[in-house]
Amino acid sequence: MSLMDEFRKELHREIIGKSIDRCSRWAEKRRVMGHPFKGPYSFKYFPWCRELHDSKATWNVTLKSAQAGATEVGINLALYTIDHLRQNALYVLPTLGDASDFSKSRFNPALRNSDHLKNVFTDSNNVGLKMAGNTALYIRGSKGDSGLKSIPVSTLFLDEMDEMDQSQIELAFKRLSGQPVKKIWMISTPTVPNHGVSPQYALSTQEHFIFKCPGCSRHEELVFPDSLVMCGDSLTDPDVYKSYYQCTQCKYKFKHHYDDANERCFQEDKLEALQSGIWTPMQQAIDPNRRGFRINQLFSYTVSPAEVTQEYLKAQTNSFALQEFTRSVLGEPFVEESSQITEAMIIRAKEAGGGYRCKELAAQPGETRMITMGIDRGAICYYTVCEWFYKSDAIDLNESAHCRVLDAGIFSEEDFIMYSGRLMKEWQVRGCMVDADPGVPQAKRFAREFPGFVWLNRYREGRTGKSMSIEDDKSYAPIATVDRTCWLDLSLGRFFRERVELPIDIPVSFGQHLMNEVRMYKEDKFGNPYAMYDNYGKPNHFAHSFNYAETVLPLAASAAAGCDVNRFL
């Protein structure tokens, strides 16, 4: 290249640099994409993303479906902050592994594809740190706080916020303290209500992407199910390819067509209409400096009406598919109807008890009541005492038994041996279960003080139903290994079946802890869905002390009847 050519190239770069006055302009001029939209970054296929780039609000939250282009917005904003604003930025993902994969598969290709960015970043080999001269882009995982300490930045990105360690998010926010100008982006597919991105969105402007309908020229939004006319009765029905999007007001049909193999759908009609779209607030935010954006998969150019229809049909077959459809396609939080205890259920259980109070129904000398206790250990120990009413010839003891919670409370781990022993005697407990960890020796010592009445608990996923594996080394401290999900189904399910009573003065936190456990679905390493409970970082200690009191019932009943525990399982 001649000196004159080099001069022209430098002059061209300088002119472009001076024309960049906002992030969207920077993305179009500096970012180069790979497959499937090769070439300079464009808003043609993601027109709703332009305003996301240029928001001037301090707090920004995007509640999104899959295939919405929001992650590329985060990457562009981060690179713009480093390159154009010359300010440090912190990009946080759920885990260190996520951060490493993201750095290698998303950031590194972005730098390789752009000659400009290759020249900007002087050191990009470090997975968690990309240097552009004296300016740094930090890429970190949220699990474990060491990676989030002592990083002064002006811009913070929380990508897939719902999957993060929620206790570390506040620590990430503090990385911006002391900065005169700061910007925070929270991006996530939602999981459950009142968790992660959802409550942040609730505090924002709650903006929807509104465009002009080509048929009636009225303002329109793509919403499920009104905007989608679904055809076909099954996943294999060829009529699903007749599904189409429509205007909810004038029923204008957005035209599209497929290639010969039905593998690719061309939606230019919808795409052209979306170019006129603008973000419209649905409420006046409490803080005007908080903007929120919500987008679903119906807007996506890469997802056809047939694909959304197929995902909906699949969602009718099982709970896992319904969960994924609601979250990933609609971009909405999801909790199955019978997956979480509600405040109304807690109130109903108190009413069922008739107004008794904690400790009021104390055990009297000589009584033969079936009373069990569960203790969830930690720095603070949580206990629940329950009385059970059942028929001795019941085929399924736990399913048929009725539970009355007699007492619930807390004490310090320092007082574990003394306080637990006092409760055992005070309530004449027939069976107690306490988690083995942390501190197995301490738990075993307690069990030996009450031989035959105390079992240690270890949760394991994948056990068959209610089966128990009892590890007994004749030390009078047997350890029961049980399936966590199965037994939580039984104990928390009592509130759905209305087979539990609560004292009217039970600690408020007792009900809250139970409500914090949500039954949801994940995939194992083979792609098979399985059910599990997740508290999403919220306290759940009373839920497990109550569950231990439930789990120990067949052990206590078998000991009292002098028979094998399998008789009651």
Q: Is 171 exposed, middle or buried (0-12, 13-18, 19+ CB in 10 A)?
A: middle
Task: Note the pLDDT of residue 11.
Answer: 44
pLDDT string in tens for the chain (569-residue length)? 555 555 455 544 554 555 688 999 999 999 999 888 889 999 999 999 999 999 999 999 999 999 899 999 999 999 999 999 999 999 999 988 999 998 999 888 988 899 888 888 887 778 888 888 889 998 988 876 556 766 778 899 999 999 988 888 887 887 777 777 789 999 999 999 989 999 999 999 999 999 999 999 999 999 999 999 999 999 999 999 999 999 999 999 999 999 877 778 999 999 999 999 999 999 887 788 999 999 999 999 999 999 999 999 999 998 999 999 999 999 999 998 889 999 999 999 999 999 999 999 988 887 889 999 999 999 999 999 999 999 877 778 888 999 999 999 999 999 999 999 999 999 999 999 999 877 788 899 999 999 999 999 988 866 567 788 888 877 788 999 999 999 999 999 999 999 999 999 999 999 999 999 999 998 887 888 888 999 988 999 999 999 999 999 999 998 888 887 777 77
Tell me the domains of the chain and their CATH numbers. 3-202 (3.40.50.300), 343-568 (3.30.420.240)
Q: Give the Cα separation of 48 and 276 in Å (integer).
A: 10
Q: Give the Cα separation of 491 and 351 in Å (integer).
A: 19
Q: Give the Cα separation of 154 and 400 in Å (integer).
A: 59
Q: Give the Cα separation of 525 and 285 in Å (integer).
A: 42
Integer Rg of the chain from CA: 29
Task: Please report, as a single letter, which amino acid is at residue 415.
Answer: D
Contacts of 561 (CB under 8 A, 6+ apart): 392, 567
Task: Note the pLDDT of residue 158.
Answer: 94
Q: Give the Cα separation of 35 and 236 in Å (integer).
A: 29
Task: Note the pLDDT of residue 530.
Answer: 86
Nearest CA to 151 among 92, 206, 229?
Answer: 92
Whole-structure pTM value: 0.85
- Whether the CB-CB separation of 76 and 53 falls below 8 Å is answered with yes
